[in-house]
Amino acid sequence: MTKLSPTIINRKEAKSESMDKQQLLKQLEKAWTAIKESYAGLSDSQLTEPGVMGDWSVKDILAHVTTWEEEALKYLPLILTGGRPPRYIQYGGIDAFNAQMTEQKRGLALSEVLRQLDETHRRLIDYIQSVPEEHFTRETRFRHRLRLDTYSHYPMHAKAIREWRERPVE
CATH number at residue 30: 1.20.120.450
- Considering the domain boundaries, does residue 81 fall inside one? yes
- Considering the domain boundaries, does residue 6 fall inside one? no
Q: Mean pLDDT for the chain? A: 90
Structural domain containing residue 86 = 19-166
Q: Is the pLDDT of residue 36 over 90?
A: yes
Burial of residue 95, with CB atoms counted within 10 A of its CB: 0-12 exposed, 13-18 middle, 19 or more buried: middle
The rounded distance, in Å, linking the Cα atoms of 112 and 108 is: 6
Structurally, how many domains does the chain consist of? 1
Instruction: Specify the pLDDT at position 170.
Output: 67
The rounded distance, in Å, linking the Cα atoms of 77 and 71 is: 11
Q: Is the pLDDT of residue 156 over 80?
A: yes
The rounded distance, in Å, linking the Cα atoms of 122 and 141 is: 22
Of the pLDDT bands very low, low, confident and very high (cuts 50, 70, 90), residue 138 is: confident
Of the pLDDT bands very low, low, confident and very high (cuts 50, 70, 90), residue 14 is: very low
- Considering the domain boundaries, does residue 52 fall inside one? yes
- Considering the domain boundaries, does residue 8 fall inside one? no
